[in-house]
Amino acid sequence: MSSNVHNQGFEITIDNRRSLNKHNSFLLFFTGLSGSGKSTIANDLERKLHSKGIRTFSLDGDNVRKGINSDLEFNEKDREENIRRIAYISSLFVDAGVVVLASFIAPYKKGREFVKKTLKPENYVEVFVNTPLKECQKRDVKGLYKKAKEGMINNFTGISSIYEPPENSDIEIDTSHKSIEESVDLVYEKIKNKLELNINE
């Protein structure tokens, strides 16, 4: 970083923004294999939160790859950069007083730990959508597993690239045993107290 770059101080704080929104802000980070149900759960949960007056924003792996991260590939180095950028984008939204729902495979432990450290642990809720690989392959909603097995996609998580499962997630869900509605309700029950403000102004 250049020595000529300096932090600009601002009078309006994260607490001011949370107070205006009348709820807490944090990152809900959904991780799991392709086809596990991450985006579906996040989408339905956002709808539920929105109906309750919670200001939200969703970040999804595919959408981000088409925009701010369109210059990145799927090798290990670029995957790390993908998650690094997501961490800082999420941090900006949390500072804005928004609940962020981020859905990313995020296959490496060190990447997820970087996100947690960047956001600070109190602003980070990890949701491990632990749907078995066989079930994800069976669904193959985007046809990606088939392409990966045929050698049409390189570095595909679960086939030709590893996924390091979280060991101590805040929430763990297996959508082969729970419906989307049940999964959304489970996450909501876990976070509803965290949504409440505890600000001394």
CATH (domain of 146): 3.40.50.300
What's the pLDDT score for residue 118?
97
On whether residue 151 sits in a domain, the answer given is yes
Q: What is the mean pLDDT of residues 6-21?
A: 86
CA 171 to chain centre: 13
Q: What is the mean pLDDT of residues 36-54?
A: 96
Q: What is the mean pLDDT of residues 146-172?
A: 93
- Pairwise pLDDT comparison (68 vs 42), residue with the higher score: 42
- Pairwise pLDDT comparison (129 vs 6), residue with the higher score: 129
What's the pLDDT score for residue 11?
83
pLDDT in tens, 181-200: 999 999 999 999 999 986 54
Distance CA 151, CA 159 (A): 10
Q: CA separation (Å) from 69 to 1, 101, 106, 114, 139?
A: 21, 18, 14, 18, 27
> Is residue 44 over pLDDT 70?
yes
On whether residue 70 sits in a domain, the answer given is yes
On whether residue 5 sits in a domain, the answer given is no
Q: What is the mean pLDDT of residues 160-168?
A: 94
On whether residue 161 sits in a domain, the answer given is yes
On whether residue 181 sits in a domain, the answer given is yes
pLDDT in tens, 67-86: 889 999 988 899 999 999 99
Confidence of residue 1 (pLDDT cuts 50, 70, 90): low
Token pair belonging to 60? 């999804």
> Is residue 120 over pLDDT 70?
yes
Domain ranges, residue 69: 14-191
On whether residue 179 sits in a domain, the answer given is yes
Distance CA 16, CA 31 (A): 30
The answer to whether 81 touches 75, Cβ cutoff 8 Å, is: no
Q: What is the average pLDDT value for the chain, to the nearest integer?
A: 92
How many domains does the chain divide into? 1
Q: CA separation (Å) from 51 to 45, 55, 72, 130, 151?
A: 10, 10, 35, 27, 43
pLDDT in tens, 27-36: 999 999 999 9
On whether residue 186 sits in a domain, the answer given is yes
Out of 2-6, 60-64, 66-70, 133-137, pick the least confident.
2-6
Token pair belonging to 196? 């409440």
On whether residue 57 sits in a domain, the answer given is yes
Confidence of residue 2 (pLDDT cuts 50, 70, 90): low
